[in-house]
Amino acid sequence: MPELIEVLSKEDIAKSVTDVATAISEDYQDANLALVGALKGAFIFMADLAREISVPLQLGFIGVSSYGTSSESSGEVRVTKDLDLDVTGMDVLVVEDIVDTGVTLGFIMEYLKDRGARSVKVCALLDKKERRAQEVSVDYSCHVIPEGFLVGYGLDYAEQYRNLPGIYHLKM
Protein backbone atom coordinates (compact mmCIF):
# COMPACT_ATOMS: atom_id res chain seq x y z
CA MET A 1 0.00 0.00 0.00
CA PRO A 2 1.43 3.40 -0.96
CA GLU A 3 2.25 5.87 1.81
CA LEU A 4 1.12 9.52 1.63
CA ILE A 5 3.27 12.19 3.29
CA GLU A 6 1.77 15.70 3.43
CA VAL A 7 3.80 18.35 1.60
CA LEU A 8 1.24 21.20 1.54
CA SER A 9 -1.93 21.52 3.58
CA LYS A 10 -5.27 22.71 2.28
CA GLU A 11 -4.66 26.00 4.14
CA ASP A 12 -1.17 26.47 2.61
CA ILE A 13 -2.67 26.03 -0.85
CA ALA A 14 -5.58 28.42 -0.22
CA LYS A 15 -3.24 31.20 0.93
CA SER A 16 -0.90 30.83 -2.04
CA VAL A 17 -3.84 30.76 -4.50
CA THR A 18 -5.18 34.02 -3.03
CA ASP A 19 -1.72 35.64 -3.17
CA VAL A 20 -1.05 34.68 -6.79
CA ALA A 21 -4.60 35.67 -7.87
CA THR A 22 -4.01 39.13 -6.40
CA ALA A 23 -0.81 39.51 -8.44
CA ILE A 24 -2.55 38.28 -11.61
CA SER A 25 -5.46 40.68 -11.05
CA GLU A 26 -3.04 43.60 -10.77
CA ASP A 27 -1.01 42.57 -13.83
CA TYR A 28 -4.02 41.93 -16.09
CA GLN A 29 -6.22 44.95 -15.22
CA ASP A 30 -6.42 46.15 -18.84
CA ALA A 31 -6.04 42.80 -20.58
CA ASN A 32 -8.29 40.49 -22.54
CA LEU A 33 -7.53 37.58 -20.18
CA ALA A 34 -8.14 33.91 -20.84
CA LEU A 35 -7.21 31.17 -18.41
CA VAL A 36 -6.41 27.92 -20.20
CA GLY A 37 -6.22 24.93 -17.89
CA ALA A 38 -4.29 21.79 -18.64
CA LEU A 39 -6.61 18.85 -17.94
CA LYS A 40 -7.07 16.96 -15.85
CA GLY A 41 -4.63 18.02 -13.17
CA ALA A 42 -5.22 21.78 -13.20
CA PHE A 43 -9.02 21.78 -12.92
CA ILE A 44 -9.22 22.14 -9.11
CA PHE A 45 -6.47 24.77 -8.96
CA MET A 46 -7.96 26.67 -11.90
CA ALA A 47 -11.43 26.75 -10.34
CA ASP A 48 -10.07 28.15 -7.08
CA LEU A 49 -7.77 30.59 -8.91
CA ALA A 50 -10.52 31.90 -11.23
CA ARG A 51 -12.78 32.65 -8.27
CA GLU A 52 -10.02 34.72 -6.65
CA ILE A 53 -9.08 36.76 -9.76
CA SER A 54 -10.91 40.11 -9.73
CA VAL A 55 -10.66 41.04 -13.45
CA PRO A 56 -12.89 39.79 -16.27
CA LEU A 57 -11.70 36.56 -17.84
CA GLN A 58 -12.67 33.68 -20.07
CA LEU A 59 -11.97 30.01 -19.38
CA GLY A 60 -10.81 27.22 -21.65
CA PHE A 61 -9.34 23.78 -21.25
CA ILE A 62 -6.90 21.66 -23.19
CA GLY A 63 -6.25 18.02 -22.50
CA VAL A 64 -2.69 16.84 -22.97
CA SER A 65 -0.81 13.82 -21.72
CA SER A 66 2.80 12.78 -21.42
CA TYR A 67 2.42 10.37 -18.49
CA GLY A 68 -0.35 7.88 -19.18
CA THR A 69 -0.48 5.51 -16.21
CA SER A 70 3.22 5.84 -15.41
CA SER A 71 4.93 8.01 -12.79
CA GLU A 72 7.56 9.06 -15.37
CA SER A 73 6.95 11.33 -18.34
CA SER A 74 7.21 9.60 -21.70
CA GLY A 75 8.54 12.83 -23.23
CA GLU A 76 5.91 12.59 -25.97
CA VAL A 77 2.97 14.97 -25.65
CA ARG A 78 -0.37 14.20 -27.19
CA VAL A 79 -3.58 16.26 -27.24
CA THR A 80 -6.42 14.36 -25.59
CA LYS A 81 -8.94 17.26 -25.70
CA ASP A 82 -8.63 20.15 -28.10
CA LEU A 83 -9.05 23.73 -26.88
CA ASP A 84 -12.61 24.96 -27.44
CA LEU A 85 -11.89 28.67 -26.84
CA ASP A 86 -10.77 31.05 -29.59
CA VAL A 87 -7.69 32.72 -28.07
CA THR A 88 -6.91 34.93 -31.06
CA GLY A 89 -5.68 38.30 -29.76
CA MET A 90 -6.12 37.27 -26.12
CA ASP A 91 -3.67 37.42 -23.21
CA VAL A 92 -3.54 33.77 -22.24
CA LEU A 93 -2.49 32.51 -18.84
CA VAL A 94 -1.82 28.78 -18.93
CA VAL A 95 -2.84 27.22 -15.62
CA GLU A 96 -0.84 24.12 -14.70
CA ASP A 97 -0.99 21.93 -11.63
CA ILE A 98 2.73 21.16 -11.80
CA VAL A 99 5.60 22.15 -14.07
CA ASP A 100 8.11 19.32 -14.01
CA THR A 101 10.20 18.57 -17.10
CA GLY A 102 8.64 21.48 -19.00
CA VAL A 103 7.94 19.34 -22.06
CA THR A 104 4.14 19.42 -21.76
CA LEU A 105 4.09 23.12 -20.91
CA GLY A 106 6.39 23.98 -23.83
CA PHE A 107 4.01 22.12 -26.13
CA ILE A 108 0.95 23.97 -24.76
CA MET A 109 2.62 27.38 -25.06
CA GLU A 110 3.51 26.80 -28.72
CA TYR A 111 0.02 25.44 -29.38
CA LEU A 112 -1.55 28.65 -28.03
CA LYS A 113 0.85 30.94 -29.90
CA ASP A 114 0.04 29.06 -33.11
CA ARG A 115 -3.64 29.79 -32.45
CA GLY A 116 -3.04 33.55 -32.33
CA ALA A 117 -2.75 34.33 -28.62
CA ARG A 118 -1.45 37.89 -28.13
CA SER A 119 0.62 36.78 -25.14
CA VAL A 120 1.15 33.50 -23.30
CA LYS A 121 2.27 33.33 -19.67
CA VAL A 122 2.16 30.55 -17.09
CA CYS A 123 0.69 30.13 -13.62
CA ALA A 124 1.63 26.93 -11.81
CA LEU A 125 0.54 25.60 -8.47
CA LEU A 126 3.80 23.65 -8.16
CA ASP A 127 7.16 24.29 -9.81
CA LYS A 128 9.76 21.48 -9.83
CA LYS A 129 12.66 23.48 -11.29
CA GLU A 130 15.36 20.83 -10.83
CA ARG A 131 13.57 18.41 -13.17
CA ARG A 132 13.53 20.68 -16.25
CA ALA A 133 14.36 18.97 -19.53
CA GLN A 134 13.01 21.92 -21.56
CA GLU A 135 13.49 25.55 -20.56
CA VAL A 136 10.13 27.18 -19.80
CA SER A 137 9.29 30.26 -17.77
CA VAL A 138 6.79 30.09 -14.92
CA ASP A 139 5.49 33.63 -14.44
CA TYR A 140 3.33 32.94 -11.37
CA SER A 141 4.27 30.09 -9.04
CA CYS A 142 2.47 29.19 -5.84
CA HIS A 143 5.12 26.79 -4.55
CA VAL A 144 8.58 25.64 -5.63
CA ILE A 145 8.87 22.06 -4.50
CA PRO A 146 11.58 19.39 -4.30
CA GLU A 147 11.92 15.99 -5.90
CA GLY A 148 9.23 13.39 -5.29
CA PHE A 149 6.05 12.13 -6.92
CA LEU A 150 3.15 14.29 -5.75
CA VAL A 151 -0.59 13.68 -5.64
CA GLY A 152 -3.68 15.49 -4.40
CA TYR A 153 -5.51 18.74 -5.24
CA GLY A 154 -5.91 17.57 -8.83
CA LEU A 155 -2.60 15.71 -9.21
CA ASP A 156 -2.91 11.98 -9.74
CA TYR A 157 -1.19 8.69 -10.00
CA ALA A 158 -3.02 6.43 -12.50
CA GLU A 159 -6.16 8.61 -12.08
CA GLN A 160 -6.19 8.14 -8.27
CA TYR A 161 -5.73 10.70 -5.44
CA ARG A 162 -6.96 13.83 -7.34
CA ASN A 163 -9.62 14.46 -4.69
CA LEU A 164 -7.24 14.88 -1.74
CA PRO A 165 -7.45 18.42 -0.30
CA GLY A 166 -3.69 18.87 0.14
CA ILE A 167 -0.53 17.89 -1.73
CA TYR A 168 1.15 14.65 -0.72
CA HIS A 169 4.34 12.83 -1.61
CA LEU A 170 3.37 9.37 -2.80
CA LYS A 171 5.84 6.75 -1.56
CA MET A 172 5.50 3.42 -3.32
pLDDT 10s digits, 82-126? 999 999 999 999 999 999 889 999 999 999 999 999 999 999 999
- Is 90 exceeded by the pLDDT of residue 33? yes
- Alpha helix (H) residue ranges in 100-158: 103-114
Taking the C-alpha atoms of residue 150 and residue 153, their distance in angstroms, rounded to an integer, is 10
Parallel, antiparallel or unpaired: strands 57-65 and 78-81: antiparallel
> Residue 45: CB partners within 8 Å, gap ≥ 6?
17, 37, 95, 97, 125, 153, 154
The number of angstroms, rounded, from the C-alpha of 9 to the middle of its chain's C-alpha atoms is: 18
- Dump pLDDT digits (tens) for 143-166: 999 778 999 999 999 999 999 999
Q: In whole angstroms, how far apart are CA 41 and each of 2, 27, 29, 96, 118? A: 20, 25, 27, 7, 25
In a 13 Å sphere around the CA of 60, the CA atoms on its Cβ side amount to 21
Predicted local distance difference test score (pLDDT) of residue 75: 66
Domains of the chain, start order? 14-63+86-148 (3.40.50.2020)
Mean pLDDT of 40-68: 92
- Dump pLDDT digits (tens) for 55-91: 999 999 999 877 555 455 556 888 999 999 999 999 9
* Active site residue ranges: 100
With H, G, I as helix, E, B as strand and everything else as coil, classify residue 137: coil
Whole-prediction pTM: 0.92
What 8-state DSSP symbol labels residue 25?
Answer: H
Taking the C-alpha atoms of residue 62 and residue 96, their distance in angstroms, rounded to an integer, is 11
